[in-house]
Chains A and B, each alone.
Chain A
Amino acid sequence: EPEVTQTPSHQVTQMGQEVILRCVPISNHLYFYWYRQILGQKVEFLVSFYNNEISEKSEIFDDQFSVERPDGSNFTLKIRSTKLEDSAMYFCASSEVAASSYEQYFGPGTRLTVT
């Protein structure tokens, strides 16, 4: 069964450094998402992406964050200058259709630790 993959599974970085989290969505899906879960808190929506553009973003997704689909398979989340509060599990998801009734398929997550 096709699945969303994410690399790395765990990333440790120093405050102020740039990080790139990588995701490979399911191949025929057109809509891509990033969510994050700070330890002990809810999974929160960050951004959705379609046709090489951000279609929706939350207030969490400020200028420090960017997303890109650099080629036909990868979908990346970049954090320009990491802060301690960016430490979280980051989930990538994809869906065939951008409609509320369609399920999103999630990857296993990347645990980001900022020291």
Chain B
Amino acid sequence: AQSVTQLDSHVSVSEGTPVLLRCNYSSSYSPSLFWYVQHPNKGLQLLLKYTSAATLVKGINGFEAEFKKSETSFHLTKPSAHMSDAAEYFCVVSDRGYGQNFVFGPGTRLSVLP
């Protein structure tokens, strides 16, 4: 069965410093992986996705993630945090062997300090 682990429930960084949000997954098949962000009172917005093409994926707002099959990881990074990045971030796996449904990680809350 698919599963997603997000190692940190809360990450706090200072504005202008790098962001690293960690995600590990398990999947029996070749997975597709996504990062979604949720700002307060907003829907889940897609940041980026990996679907078996380039392993380094660039997304919106300066975020990127690298798929590492050997480590079963898909960590999200950003070189310089902005106050507007404060939100909840979800790593999601979708596995061709298991239909259409997304499996979510528990989420990481990112705080950005001035």
Beta-carbon contacts under 8 Å, B38-87 to A: 41-46, 49, 51-52
| Cβ < 8 Å to B, chain A residues 44-59 | 44-45, 48, 55-56, 58
Number of interface residues of B (CB under 8 A): 27
B114 close to chain A: CB less than 8 A: no
Find the residue from A3, A58, A98, A101 having the highest chain B CB count within 10 A: A101
Is residue A106 contacting chain B, with contact meaning CB distance below 8 A? yes
Q: Does A18 contact B (CB under 8 A)?
A: no
Interface residues of A in 26-46 (CB under 8 A from B): 31, 33, 35, 41-45
Smallest CB-CB separation from A107: which chain B residue? B43
Chain A residues in contact with chain B, CB under 8 A? 3-4, 9, 31, 33, 35, 41-45, 48, 55-56, 58, 91, 93, 95, 98-101, 103-109
Give chain B's interface residues, CB within 8 Å of chain A.
31-32, 34, 36, 41-46, 49, 51-52, 90, 94-96, 98-107
